[in-house]
Structure 1
């Protein structure tokens, strides 16, 4: 456990599975999401489910969770399949070239989000504007935000850069327009049966009230940020790892030809993409899209004989936990077969948290574990991937990305 102290804050980094379990599963209410995190992301996310705590968060999850139940995920498959085919065709058109794959995976992940949330392809004018605005916001958002560092009273205005505020306002304005149009379609009885409609028409079972328009804008913003940024990151690194491991790539391609050659798959077919799933899981072990999670103590605590005052920032790092040399066999090696070993199965239960765990586990985890393997299989079925001239260097932005992109050579099979 690492301990950091400064005049502005006290923080500890915990990579002990027992402490991770304590914070995320045993006593989650004693370690809520850090207010520092909320303040840094407030211009874009408002009071979204990603940053709230307590009764408000519980209400939001009661409304959101039914849209992501297992049976309903099958309804998103057609949209995922169309987006997967679209990215495969775009990459096929660039066969023979070396490209930065990150813009392509960002485009593909955004396409999935818009198709499943609002039944719109990325080519739709508003969808394209939101996508462009999110990319501008990522460039504007600093890694460390002063608003998140200084412990100020709630009534003191927070400092955010002009570009950060401008791009966040643009995104929220565009989303508000989409939410308003969908509300009108729901009222007229013409709304498509997609995730946005499900969430906007689901009342809280305790109060009977649904989200207001502003609350829905908050939720759409985090769905796009979490669902688009994280999926784009994981898909980009997965494609690079496959390019660097041609034997695993060929194995995945053979599986994809067997499972996907009959057209659009159903959930049963996706479940047979076992190699693609193992590759995607291993990718998120080595390159977890969200490299750290921050919780905050609400009372004095004692971790490993160290006294922590109230307000201590407790940092849980999937990046370090997933590469812990005392836990994992060959932790820095890309080995999708590890999940079938005793060590892999043990660590999957105690030291693998790409979606977090406990009551705050990502509601879109099941969605991502369909989307990711399906995208990988669709691409590798028809295309061969090779390493670019320079291997990527991971850096932490909003998610884990390549410092100078992720370069791949694209070829046909």
Structure 2
């Protein structure tokens, strides 16, 4: 059975139910029950029209649930009818579901979970496993999100920036488990590219692909973090890089620059270099300047300082770093690196050790601890 097809059909089937009068939460629940039924019956008895089958089963599930709630008899009158048999309308509500699931009123974690379930077609169990939380916890998170969306019409204008931010959050959760969240984010973003004509959507897809292409080289034995400069570039996926660059070039040609396009341009410059020493840091600094103009992000300012240190020397990098908030995550790690490049080894060793103590992840902490030990070794007679 083609589970990928099932997941792709989910948003369209939810859209059909909502169009017939179901509220979003009830429609999503009914479709999930239809998916479970499909997994049970399709291997032995596959339908000729999978979408029509899912719509019919989900609609019956919805009606059964509506009839079971005696306090909502009035609503039953409006929807208690089987639709006329025949082909399912081809109208695609997927884009509207993206906007609804990434509604600005939802906290990011809830928006991510709801997007993965309603648009991505994942089960609550799969999402919980991917985020390493109990299934009951994820179920509550999704239920709260759906309650918050109750009463919002499907055709309410959405915020594309919020949708893209949610997809990027999914991508950055990384890899592993039964569900590869990075691959899932790429799949959903490809779908969104096909539904929109916005260059920033293509820019996000290009950014994901360019980062995804380096996946195999990012970690060593035991999950050890491998910095970009030390990665084995022969392990980078050149076909994925080429696709990302092509998508980015088409987006940039539209002359409507956005932050994801700028980030993708930086990633493309890294991917284009045969070695770390051949990286075009001058162009990278210029793209960081564009990013700062677009976002004024403190994180971008921090990354720009490191790039300046590569392009114009460590002292220039430290001068740029002096304009960044020292309380920013990874500030100390950046300062350690630039001080090491400047030859201030004792300062660098102390900063690496300090950065390790406040590292946001275990692999990063272990990497910074090794860096501190390495620099201390250089200080010995």
Is TM (by shorter chain) over 0.5?
no
Q: Which structure shows the higher strand fraction? A: 1
Alignment TM-score, normalising by the size of structure 2: 0.23
Higher relative contact order (CA 8 A, sep 6+): 1
Task: Pick the structure with greater CA Rg.
Answer: 2
Richer in helix (by share): 2
Give the TM-score, by structure 1 length. 0.22
